[in-house]
Amino acid sequence: MQVLASQADHNALVISFCSLCSFFCHLPSLVPYFLSCCFLVLFLRLYFLQSIYCSVFILQSWPVLCVCSFLPFLFKACTHLNKCVPFVVSYAGLHCVVIKGYSKSAGYQPGVSFDDNRFRNSWNAVYVDNAWRFVQCNWGARHLVNAKEAPKSNGSKGHSGKSAHGDSLRYEYDDHYFLTDPEEFIYEFYPLQSEWQLLRRPITLQEFEQLPFVRSLFFRYGLWFPDETTKAVIPTDPSGASTIRITMPLEITNRLIFHYNLKFYDKEGDSCPDGVLLKRFVMQSVIGNSVIFRVHAPLSGSYLLDIFANAVTPAEYLAGDPMKFKSVCKFRVDCKQLQTVMVPLPECASGEWGPAKATRLFGLTPLTHEDALIFASRELEIRFRMQRPLTDFMATLHKNGLEDKRLSKHVQHMVQGDLVSVHIIFPEDGQYGLDIYTRDGTKSSSSAGARNGSSSNAGEKQQLLTHCCKYLINVSRRH
């Protein structure tokens, strides 16, 4: 026999329900009212299952349930959701306050100082289970979609808007901003009254500006910076190089994929004057459970490095379907002086260098070269062992100043049982990039039919080759 849920559970559930209603309030027509009623029924059923004293709960909670049923209309009449939250949660017997301060909101970039009112904001603190916790309903109900994750327009009408910066405003529930821990909340919100940081050692506004610019997904994936001195602004050394490291939990390392984008900080564009993309001056690699971004600035000045992530299973990645990456953190990279002329990396597929991705997502274990960087003479052989069926391997070679077509005859691959080998004879010294592609071997029969020109069912989808891994190879006769 179960007993009545604890007051802490009761309060937390009320807060969650209010949060969901704050999201539904942005939907058009009578949809929010209908959905709120549905969740009201679900809300009652949940407590009915938890307790044989459901009547006692209803007597305790009927005021907040009635108010929650009309939350969509209440919130639509309010300019700021955080001003409505104290009114709502007071019916649940909770203490709630409105906090004013600064936030790293839309339009903010790492390194910007809070010397005006552009980024003023307000949020709530709710006293739950003998502790104050933060709530930011606006951010929990919607967020800006930047260019990396923005969906292409298909002409359909949707309930979305455009910000002043041209980004898409997407209404999407994000529970990170409900009952958030103070240690995470301080990365994005700074109260005017330092006691509302709820930290043992409050920080100054300048320290808040220097904190890395991270987003909710950073904490959802459990990421952290192994270097506690990591700042929002990263200086380069005299050669124009800087390094950023992010550590992942071991349990998610095999499913997490990172990407990045590099562009100028104070002007439009992501290409050098000669047309070379700036992202070719960043080398991303994975060592253990850490992802490393090595930036080599091609010119003196400031750059914006945006790091994205997504968690996928090997089956999802092998399917070759487009994936949506969301920003986890941003940095400003400052190169005040440049004593070395940097050359771009070979034009390979985007993403991380090295065989770690091949092992994590493809079950392809390197037998000869485990690092992303290889030093070789004019001839090189790289060998792997397959832990799962793969087929249709393809290897492509790239070098700045040489056409890929000319290099194609210098690389060959061979598959014998579960062993895969790539053999390369380099035409000259220099720096090369090697891309390796493959596809799921369990679906090879349908793919072979398509390649041989045989017909297939209209509903079948041919699996394309998927990028497996890439190497950076420095070639010299002296090696």
Q: Which residue has the tokens 């190169």?
A: 335
Q: What's the token pair of residue 129?
A: 């289970």
Cα separation, 270 vs 276, whole angstroms: 9
Q: Residue 311: beta bridge partners?
A: 256
Query: CA-CA distances (angstroms) from residue 89 to 19, 74, 128?
Result: 11, 13, 11
φ, ψ at 273 (rounded to 5°):
-55, -30
Query: What pLDDT does 53 receive?
Result: 43
Cα separation, 333 vs 306, whole angstroms: 11
CB atoms within 10 A of CB 48: 14
pLDDT digits over 166-217, tens only?
A: 455 566 678 888 889 999 999 999 999 999 999 999 999 999 999 999 999 9
Q: What's the token pair of residue 180?
A: 């958030």
pLDDT digits over 72-128, tens only?
A: 444 444 445 556 666 566 666 778 889 999 999 888 999 999 988 889 999 989 888
What's the sign of the alpha-carbon dihedral 383, 386, 392, 394?
negative
Lateral strand order in the sheet of 168-171:
142-145, 168-171, 161-162
| Residue 233 buriedness (CB in 10 A; 0-12 / 13-18 / 19+) | middle
| Cα R_g (the chain), whole angstroms | 27
At residue 417's C-alpha, the angle toward residues 413 and 421, to 5°, is: 25
Query: What pLDDT does 436 receive?
Result: 97
- What is the number of residues in the chain? 479
- Answer yes or no: are the C-beta atoms of 100 and 166 closer than 8 Å: no
Give the closest residue to 91 by CA, choosing from 67, 68, 64.
64
**Chain center to CA of 477:** 42
Give the closest residue to 212 by CA, choosing from 104, 305, 110.
110
Cα separation, 242 vs 239, whole angstroms: 9
Query: What pLDDT does 88 receive?
Result: 64
User: Pairing relation of β-strands 364-366 and 379-386?
Assistant: antiparallel
Query: What pLDDT does 151 receive?
Result: 35
CB atoms within 10 A of CB 4: 16
Query: What pLDDT does 215 receive?
Result: 93
- Answer yes or no: are the C-beta atoms of 36 and 71 closer than 8 Å: yes
Query: CA-CA distances (angstroms) from residue 358 to 24, 254, 314, 442?
Result: 42, 10, 10, 17
Query: CA-CA distances (angstroms) from residue 18 to 25, 122, 125?
Result: 11, 18, 14
Query: What pLDDT does 31 receive?
Result: 45
Give the ranges where 95-173 is alpha helix by DSSP (H).
137-141
> What are the mean pLDDT values of the chain's consecutive 10-residue runs (479 residues total)?
48 53 49 46 47 46 48 48 62 81 92 91 88 85 52 36 48 81 95 95 96 95 95 95 96 93 93 93 96 96 96 86 89 92 93 95 96 96 96 96 94 96 97 96 53 39 82 91
Query: What pLDDT does 327 receive?
Result: 93
- Answer yes or no: are the C-beta atoms of 275 and 260 closer than 8 Å: no
- Answer yes or no: are the C-beta atoms of 430 and 440 closer than 8 Å: no
The reported pTM is 0.79
Q: Which residue has the tokens 């497996």?
A: 468
Query: CA-CA distances (angstroms) from residue 146 to 163, 260, 333?
Result: 11, 13, 20
- Answer yes or no: are the C-beta atoms of 258 and 319 closer than 8 Å: no
